[in-house]
Structure 1
Amino acid sequence: MNLEDYLTDLRARQERVRPAGIPTEVQYPLGTPQTVPAHVAHWAEQAPDRVALRFQDRTWTYAQLDDESRRLAGWMASTGVRRGDRVAIQLGNCPEFALCFLAILRLGAVHVPVNPMFGAAELAHEINDAEPGLLITSTSQLSTLDLARDRIGELDVAVVDDGTTWQDALAHEPYPDDDGDLDSLAALNYTGGTTGLPKGCMHTQGDMVYTVASAATATHIPQDGSFVGLCYLPIFWIAGEDLGILIPFVLGGTSVLMARWNARDAVDAIEAHRVTLMTGTVENYLELMDLPDIRERDLSSLQDPQAVSFVRKMSPEVRRAWADVVPGSVLRESSYGMTETHTIDITPYGFAKDDQDLLAEPVFAGLPVPGTDVAVVEFGTQTPVPIGEVGEIIVRSPSVTSGYWRNDEATREQLVDGWIHTGDSGRIDELGLLHYLGRRKEMIKVNGMSVFPADVEMLLAQHPAVGAVAVVPTDDERTGQRPVAFVVPQPGASPTAEELMEWSRANMAPYKVPVVVVQEQLPMTDTGKVRKHELAERAAAANSARA
């Protein structure tokens, strides 16, 4: 069966089981797709006093959000930022991030989120690859920037918490126009890969708005301004960007933004602000349920609590425990997606009856959102495998990346005829529903964060004493998994494992720092490849010894 005939059959199966009331066509909140700043401007006109953003004890109405983001756009334009220019934001969860994001899109410039946990080597790679003209950061990040200065070119830097810069920016005349559009490059969202350092996924504002509208259509998220989302996921990650910025602002709702996870603060926010949607790890929900006064708190506003299974897995037992604490609330697994597709592709929404979604084997992903197609094919091809058989998951949607920034080879490998080849294993059942079997071959998940061995290998290889390195995963009781690096020193060098781990702590995000094993050689195949399966057997012992 060819791919198009396969899709015709698959769509028919999916329509028979689509949950009641879920449209087959995407419904946009303003009737047609418009830019993200245009949505903010619309809500500023229609509901100027509605709260758009809450952070700690501060609030922004839509009128204020529109005004301040326009002023920031005017200030950025005065510094030389033009349509198509890259602007990097190196901030944690804070209002300044959201305001700068909107300002960048209003100018038709390109948003480049930078992980504030990056070490110097990681920061230098992303800055050199994206080549932003302006970096927006905070005083806490300046020491890392100083360490990377000798590896990056000229770069204007604005510090949001130095007082003068930010106040001057907010005092600028508002930028009157909207120079963005739906089809031009609007964001470089960096993601790791099985080869090389992270690559910039190119996304447009059209991708962003489709993601919001399709997710809202598929899961009954209200589009009347009543949506209230609680977000403590990092908004420099694309999933946090969706939940903390795009979904609330496009739908005219409210983003309740937290700097970081805290169970007590989360309960206070849900109760005080009548939060309707929250996404967190299973551990987050278990921590909420363990609060001594949780049964006395009113969490009834939560219409769609979503859990992500990283270390602890979502189960019927966890669902029942949550329903016991919050009667009538159904806790479900979140959506299947990836940075390349703007994250929300397949959802289990509507399949919780009798725990169908949690009892299915293997992991149940569910039904594509409207406008998205999924297929399971032979690895390395686009030949569909028969229903029920295992193959590679590929996805096609209006929000699939147009490619990797300045990386034609990677684009050709993973993007074929509009389909993104995920590298994930899966199968589609008789109902047309997707089941996810396993992660990309090389990916390691540390507390839910993706770590690619090739990324850690290339970073460690920058150390002058490292001759060769191979990184493999091992299970870890605290973090789910952990990378273990087997290092062969350069001739004449004798680094210790502790020295290399200390260097890693200074040059990598904390979750990437590996357990290091120094040895004389790596086990190799006859064709010159590292026998990583042999190293995997040693990795567990190395991690246990380290613990």
Structure 2
Amino acid sequence: MDLETYLDDVRARQARVRPANTPDRLVLPLGELSIPGHVDHWARERPGQAAIVHEGRAISYAELAGLVARVAGWLAGAGVRPGDRVAVDLPNCPQFTVAMLAILRLGAVHVPVNPMFQHAELVHELADSGATVLVAVDSVLPVVVAALPETQVRRVLVTSLSDTAPDLPDGLDATPWSEAVAHAPAPEHPADLDALAALNYTGGTTGLPKGCQHTQRHMLYTAATAAAATGHTVETGYVPLCYLPVFWIAGEDLGILNPIVLGGTSVLMTRWDAGAALAAIERHGVTSMVGTVENYLELLEHPDLPARDLSTLKMPMAVSFVRKLTQDVRAAWREAVGAHSVLCEAAYGMTETHTFDATPYGMSAGDKDLLAEPVFCGVPMPGTDIAVVEFGTLHPLPLGEAGEIVVRSPSVMTGYWNRPDATAAQLDRGWLHTGDNGRLDEDGCLHYLGRDKDLIKVKGMSVFPAEVELLLTRHPAVRTAAVVPAADPESGQVPVAFVSLSPDASVSAAELRAWAKTAMAPYKVPLVEVVGEFPMTATGKIRKVELTDRAQRLADER
């Protein structure tokens, strides 16, 4: 079957199961208007409505539009022209949103930078992007000062998260934020939605981070479809609680783009705090949030929860980095918060696609999404096609068969910045090769099986770590599981599971392995080691690379 015939069949299947209250085609609320243009529109239509709420302070759309125009004026005065790269090294705060929009207003290129970066990481992204201006928070200035000589940055704009003026170190010629917001405003550059607008760096699996080239059209498409596909419209209102870092593209979507396109209110938190989150949900009528499963468990255990009104929170979305979203977690959330608030997995996506390609929203009846093995991702966004193909080709595989997930959508990056080799390896006739294993079921719904590099081959049979992890977490004593491969002289590889236990649970590795033999096919049954804690990355994921040596020792000792 050729790819287009395959897609016709898949789309028809998806249409039959797509939730009734979600769109089957792209609808842009304000048409093809630039992202800063949306701010100006809402400033005229809803001038007094809060655009951003942060640390108890509300910034209206009228105020936001003014700040964006004046900071754009300062940037233009600093020599920023269309196409120039401007790096933004800030945590979640209104200044981040203002800086990003000001950059886009000039037709320049937004380069978000992780403020947790140390010297080599910061130098790489500044030098690789060719950024000439940097907007930074004062707390990162020691790292910035050391990095600048190895970059093309010639102007630095500094802000502070406190009400005081930023403390500038000796030897740094920088401009305080107060000067920028007092500058004469700049007119908006004629919008070209297809011009380069952002370099969103992604770590990937090998080598140094690469800059994904995104446009305002990508941003607009993602915001319009992601919000609508989770039941939000201009009329219903959109109030996300965002503590995901907005320098990540998922946080950018949730905390900046989605609310601006829908004329909503972004409730920003610089860092996670369960009590503050509960108070913000009640006070501001939060409708949506994204957090780890651990975040939701912390909310469930918080003493303030019973006294808080969470009736507006209809779309809580979870990310299963470490703890997995299970039927028990969902049931506990429903019991505590109410049936109106259905906890589900967030979405399938990646930085290269602007992150929101498929969602299980509206497909939780009977816990269908959680019982599917393993991660059930639902149907794609309207206008997005997802196929499962033979790795390295565009030859579609039969439904139910595992292969590589490829994505074609209006938000797929135009390429990697200055990396034609990597671009050619990932993009093929408009399709992005994700490097992810997955399958499409009989309804055309996507199931994510993990990165191809994580695939374990046991006597030629494929074992997907995500599937084994999900099955293991169904044991009542298991809190978290991480599965990695080890070499084996007889089978080629064996899966090895590192497992942490729930509080007060007691079960041995041998007992868990015996239980696994009753829960999965024999070739999937892992060797097991019970651990107290896992090595973690700065982004809250298990650092599996540090488990591989331990896994091999365990396999050798068997």
Write the deviation string for residues 405-464 of structure 1: whole angstroms up to 9, x where unpaired.
00000000011111111101000011111111113426999xxxxxxxxxxxxxxxxxxx
User: Following the alignment from structure 1 to structure 2, what is the Cα–Cα distance between the partners of residues 512 and 352?
Assistant: 25
Q: Distance in 2 between matches of 1:266 and 1:392?
A: 38
CA contact (8 A) 2:131 2:152 kept: no
* Structure 1 match to 2:373: 361
Give the Cα–Cα distance (whole angstroms) in 2 for the partners of residues 406 and 113 of structure 1: 17
Q: CA deviation at 1:219?
A: 1.9
The question of whether the paired residues in 1 share the 8 Å contact of 2:133 and 2:153 is answered with: no
Equivalence map 1:225-244=2 (5 Å): 226-244=237-255
Distance in 2 (alpha carbons) for counterparts of 1:540 and 1:132:
48
What is the rounded CA distance, in whole Å, between the counterparts of 2:41 and 2:497 in structure 1? 50
Per the alignment, in what secondary structure is the counterpart of residue 180 of structure 1? Answer: coil
Provide the residue aligned with 1:3 in structure 2: 3
Quick one: distance in 2 between partners of 1:302 and 1:219? 12
Q: Deviations over 1:227-264 (max 9, x none)?
A: 11100000000000001100111110000000010000
When the two structures are aligned, how many residues end up with a matched partner?
472
Q: Percent identity?
A: 56
Change (3 A) 1:128 1:259: same
Q: Cα offset for 1:540? A: 10
Query: Is 2:53 the partner of 1:54?
Result: yes
Report if aligned partners of 2:38, 2:261 keep a CA contact under 8 Å in 1: yes
Amino acid at match of 2:20: A
Counterpart of 2:213 in structure 1 is 202
Q: How does 1:251-262 map to 2 (within 5 A)?
A: 251-262=262-273
Query: 2:286 matched to 1:271?
Result: no
SS in 2 for 1:356: helix
| Match of residue 19 from structure 2 | 19
Distance 2:153 2:298 in 1: 46
SS in 2 for 1:441: helix
- Does the C-alpha gap of structure 1 residues 8 and 108 become closer, same or farther in structure 2, counting only changes over 3 Å? same
Give the distance between the partners of 2:363 and 2:374, measured in 1 at CA.
15
Q: Counterpart in 2 of 1:344?
A: 356
**1:414 corresponds to:** 426
Distance 2:2 2:222 in 1: 28
- Contact kept in structure 1, 2:388 and 2:403, CA below 8 Å: yes
Q: Matched residues in 1 for 2:153 and 2:277: separation?
A: 41
**Partners of 2:454 and 2:57 in 1: CA distance:** 42
Q: 1:344 to 1:540 in 2, by over 3 A?
A: farther
Classify 1:413/1:474 alpha carbon distance in 2 versus 1 (closer, same or farther; 3 Å).
farther
Q: Given the alignment, which residue of 247, 250, 267 partners 2:261? A: 250
Residues 1:218 and 1:154: Cα distance change in structure 2 (over 3 Å): closer
Moved more, 209-218 or 46-55: 209-218
8 A contact 2:225–2:381 mirrored in 1: yes
Q: 1:512 & 1:145 partners in 2: Cα distance? A: 26
Match of 1:388 in 2: 400
Cα offset for 1:217? 2.5
What is aligned with 1:316? 327
Residue number in structure 2 paired with 1:137: 136
Aligned partners of 2:321 and 2:540 also within 8 Å: no
Equivalence for 1:151: 150
1:393 is displaced (CA, Å) by 0.3
Spell out, residue by residue over 1:23-50, the C-alpha distance to the aligned partner (whole angstroms, 9 max, x if none).
21111111x2211011111100011011
Counterpart contact for 1:54–1:60, Cα < 8 Å:
yes
For 2:28, the equivalent position in structure 1 comes to 28
Report the equivalent of 1:537: 552
> 1:356-505 alignment to 2 at 5 Å?
356-441=368-453, 475=498, 477=500
How far the C-alpha of 1:223 sits from its partner, in A, is 1.6
Higher relative contact order (CA 8 A, sep 6+): 1
In the TM superposition, residue 55 of structure 1 has moved relative to its aligned partner by 0.4
Cross-structure match for 2:314:
303
Distance (whole Å) between structure 1 residues aligned to residue 245 and residue 151 of structure 2: 25
Instruction: Tell me: CA distance 1:218–1:126, structure 2 relative to 1, closer, same or farther (3 Å).
Output: same
CA contact (8 A) 1:112 1:130 kept: yes
C-alpha contact (below 8 Å) 2:242/2:251 kept by paired residues: yes
Letter of the aligned partner of 2:216 in structure 1? Q
Q: State the shift of 1:138 in Å.
A: 1.7
- Is residue 2:180 matched to residue 1:169? yes
SS at match of 1:379: coil
Map of 1:39 onto structure 2: 38
SS in 2 for 1:112: strand
Tell me: CA distance 1:199–1:476, structure 2 relative to 1, closer, same or farther (3 Å). farther
> Which residue is equivalent to 2:62?
63
Displacement after TM superposition at 1:193 (Å): 2.1
User: Shift in Å at residue 516 of structure 1?
Assistant: 11
- Out of 301, 305, 326, the position equivalent to 1:294 is 305
Per-residue deviation at 1:176?
2.2
The structure-2 alpha-carbon separation of the partners of 1:437 and 1:109, relative to structure 1 and needing over 3 Å to count, comes to same
CA-CA distance at 1:279 after TM superposition: 0.7
Map 1:186-201; keep pairs closer than 5 Å: 186-201=197-212
Deviations 1:157-191 (A, max 9, x none): 12113456211111111112233321000000000
Residue 20 (structure 1) shift: 1.3
Tell me the amino acid that sits aligned with residue 23 of structure 2. P
Residue of structure 2 in register with 1:326 after alignment: 337
- After alignment, is 96-105 or 172-181 more displaced? 172-181
Backbone CA RMSD of aligned residues: 2.6
Distance in 1, matches of 2:359 and 2:544, equals 35
Instruction: Report the AA paired with residue 215 of structure 1.
Output: A
Per the alignment, in what secondary structure is the counterpart of residue 66 of structure 1? Answer: helix
Distance 2:297 2:544 in 1: 29
- CA 1:101 to 1:437, structure 2 compared with 1: closer, same or farther past 3 Å? same
For structure 2, which runs of at least 5 residues remain unmatched after alignment? 167-174, 456-464, 467-495, 502-535
1:125 and 2:136 correspond: no
Alignment of 1:90-109 (within 5 A): 90-109=89-108
Scaled by the length of structure 1, the TM-score of the pair is 0.82
> 1:173 & 1:352 partners in 2: Cα distance?
51
Q: Aligned residue for 1:160?
A: 159
Q: Contact (CA 8 Å) 2:437, 2:450: kept in 1 or not?
A: yes
Distance change >3 Å, CA 353–CA 155, structure 1 → 2: same
Taking a change above 3 Å as real, the CA distance of residues 197 and 538 of structure 1, as seen in their structure-2 partners, is farther
1:143 Cα deviation (Å)? Answer: 1.2
Structure 1 residues without counterparts, runs of 5 or longer: 446-472, 479-504, 518-531, 542-547
Higher mean C-alpha deviation, range 212-221 or range 419-428: 212-221
Query: Which aligned segments of 4 or more residues in structure 1 are displaced greater than 3 angstroms?
Result: 442-445, 473-478, 508-517, 532-536, 538-541
Aligned to 1:178: 189
Partners of 2:545 and 2:260 lie apart in 1 by 44
| Contact map agreement 1:474 1:539 (CA 8 A) in 2 | no
Q: Does 1:84 align with 2:83?
A: yes
User: Aligned equivalents of 1:13 and 1:332: distance in 2?
Assistant: 22
Alpha carbons 2:278, 2:299 under 8 Å: kept: yes
* Structure 2 residue aligned with 1:223: 234
